[in-house]
């Protein structure tokens, strides 16, 4: 199974493609979609939409996992991130891809085993799980890979449950 993990943002949207075969996680490609500040929001959203769609077309994920927006004190930022999430989810839906959403707490729980883990702990576990030489930068990329790992683990558990229950 190939999973695309996304950490949405209007300035930086981290992405990470991870293959999950058996119990092995393998990084395929990761990076960030970056937009320029002071560019009209509709142009930034179009750039995110086009870039996300092109990545989906090139790397052919089986599923897309997106971090859920949690309450943000800065309402303007929260709206912008919500809009970026929306265009990414739209790009996935137009390609017939399954979209899963995970809260930061769920991601931390799946990757570190503790829902209140520090950002650095999550980054180090991403590095370890994917056997990377360094923590991916910027942080949004490591976060996107963590979302992909979370989905891979969640999907793996769901598949095991379905095998046992005959679903």
Among 7, 36, 57, 62, the active-site one is: 7
* 7 among known catalytic residues: yes
Instruction: Tell me how far the alpha carbon of residue 114 is from its chain's centroid.
Output: 19
Among 50, 57, 124, 140, the active-site one is: 140
Q: Among residues 104, 68, 98, which one has the least CA distance to residue 86?
A: 68
Asked if 116 and 122 count as a contact pair (C-beta separation under 8 A), the reply is no
Q: To which H or E segment does residue 107 belong?
A: helix 104-112
Q: Among residues 57, 56, 45, which one has the least CA distance to residue 83?
A: 45
* Distance from C-alpha of 119 to C-alpha of 15, rounded to nearest angstrom: 17
User: Pseudo-torsion of CA 136, 6, 27, 156, nearest 10°?
Assistant: 130
Among 36, 67, 101, 163, the active-site one is: 67
Q: List active site positions.
A: 7, 67, 140
């Amino acid at each position: 199974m190939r999973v695309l993990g996304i950490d949405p943002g209007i300035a930086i949207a981290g992405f990470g493609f991870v293959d999950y075969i058996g119990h092995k996680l393998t990084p395929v490609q990761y990076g960030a979609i970056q937009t320029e500040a002071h560019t009209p929001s509709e142009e930034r959203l179009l750039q995110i939409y086009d870039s996300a769609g092109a990545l989906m077309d090139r790397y052919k994920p089986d599923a897309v996992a997106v971090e859920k927006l949690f309450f943000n004190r800065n309402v303007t930022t929260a709206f912008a991130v919500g809009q970026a999430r929306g265009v990414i989810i739209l790009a996935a839906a137009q390609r017939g891809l399954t979209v899963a959403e995970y809260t930061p707490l769920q991601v931390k729980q799946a990757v570190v085993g503790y829902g209140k883990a520090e950002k650095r702990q999550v980054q180090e576990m991403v590095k370890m799980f994917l056997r990377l030489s360094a923590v991916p930068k910027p942080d949004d990329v490591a976060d996107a890979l963590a979302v992909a790992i979370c989905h891979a683990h969640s999907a793996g558990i769901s598949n095991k449950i379905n095998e046992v229950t005959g679903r």
